[in-house]
Amino acid sequence: MRLHTHADFATGRITRHRLAVYATRAPFTTSTMVAGALVAAISCWLLFAAAAAAKHGSNDHSVQYDGDHVLRYHTTTSSNSGEHCCTGQSSSTAALIANTTEIPLNVIMELNQVTNVSDLFTKFMPDTNMDEAQRRFITTDPTTMILERKAAFIPKTASCSIESQTVSLKDIDDRSLYYFPSCTRVDRCGGGCCSHDVLACQPTKIEKLHLEVFVSQYNRAGNFEFKGRKTVSIERHLKCKCKCVVKEENCSPLQVYNRKDCRCECSNKDDEKKCNGELKQWNSTTCKCECRKIKECTSGFEFDNYTCRCEPIRIRKENTGTHLNRNKYSLVVS
């Protein structure tokens, strides 16, 4: 078995005569001719690859033979353009990304009030030249840039606002009842984007609407029986705003509400510091120090959340003595 690199072909150490020998060492058969032609074709391609490597970067090629047959052709490429081989990002782009940070929630709140491009640049990027901004595109792909330049207009933002939504008027889960009308459209806060997953478009002003519907009931004879008229109350939203999804009432007794970040935080910070990191970990949802792994115990044992191990089951047994004891119950290990 022999291993040749593209340098062997480029420097002439492997000649056409030698390639011919590779192709004709086997008995002269049709399969041998095909194999020889294949080896010759691959060799020519390797010469071309070597020339391309010298022009565009450092490429390492190797060919592994088994007798007269090619087993493997391997290429390793390193670029000289300053790009990462897999991501396609230049080193300058990577440095720019490393210098970024998440947008604070209070800034997100202000961004949700922006209604047009002029407001965006005036309030948040006052030093940006508008003429230059019109010519700058993030995309570097030529095809995509052509499509972007053909965009005729800037779309209107789907901000948090009131829109007409379908609301059911049936207030009882009884499939034999039919309400007419069964639904209607009413103004509600729409699902406009609030630019953050902890925020949602919610009503800040609501009024009650009292609507009248006709109720009938379907019987076993296959007929409808009119039951009467009924008043159904629904809400109509008058004003909307992007507000926190998690409210103060969602916090547990061990939590305090952080209005700035729209979340509940544990108030027992001392317990969190004392939490053993080897066997236990802190659960920020329950605000408790919990075992990392919960094990299934055999008969007569139960899992102890304090020691994080299987411990013998302790049974409370009532004292049956006639004398008066201070402790009515005693612990007995089964």
Q: CA-CA distance, 263 to 166, in Å (whole number)?
A: 31
Q: What is the pLDDT of residue 113?
A: 83
pTM above 0.85, yes or no: no
Closest to 22 (Cα-Cα) out of 72, 54, 65: 65
Quote the pLDDT of residue 278: 80
| C-alpha R_g of the chain | 38
pLDDT of residue 144: 62
Q: Please answer whether residues 263 and 269 qualify as being in contact, where contact means their C-beta atoms are separated by less than 8 angstroms.
A: no
CB within 8 Å of 229: residues ≥ 6 apart: 212, 213, 214, 215
The rounded Cα 82 to chain-centroid distance in angstroms is: 30
d(CA 275, CA 135): 55
Report yes or no: 334 and 302 within 8 Å, Cβ to Cβ. no
Q: Is 257 helix (H, G, I), strand (E, B) or coil?
A: strand
- Rounded to 5°, the CA angle 315-320-321 comes to 130
Q: What is the DSSP string of 53-101?
A: HHHHEEEEEEEEEETTEEEEEEEEEEESSSB-TTT--BHHHHHHHHT--
Q: What is the pLDDT of residue 188?
A: 96
What pLDDT is attached to residue 4? Answer: 52
Give me the CATH topology for the region 162-245. Answer: Cystine Knot Cytokines, subunit B (2.10.90)
Look up residue 285 and give its two tokens.
Answer: 């949802």
Judge contact between 6 and 51, C-beta under 8 A.
no
pLDDT score, position 125: 87
3-state secondary structure of 40: helix
Nearest to residue 104, comparing CAs of 199, 192, 189, 193? Answer: 199
Identify the pLDDT of residue 155: 78
pLDDT at position 90:
52
**Rounded to whole angstroms, how far apart are CA atoms 243 and 140?**
37
Q: Domains of the chain: which residue ranges?
A: 3-79, 101-149, 162-245, 293-334
DSSP string computed for 266-299 = ES-HHHHHHS-TTTEEEETTTTEEEES-PPPP-T
Per-residue pLDDT of the chain (334 residues; tens, 9 = 90+): 454 544 454 455 554 444 444 444 444 455 555 556 665 666 656 655 555 554 444 444 444 444 444 444 444 444 444 444 444 455 555 555 667 888 888 888 888 888 888 888 888 888 888 777 777 766 666 666 566 566 656 778 888 999 999 999 998 889 999 999 999 999 999 878 898 999 999 999 999 999 999 999 999 988 899 999 999 999 999 999 999 999 999 999 999 999 999 999 999 999 988 887 788 999 999 999 999 888 899 988 999 988 899 999 876 555 555 444 544 444 444 4
200 is written with which tokens? 């949602």
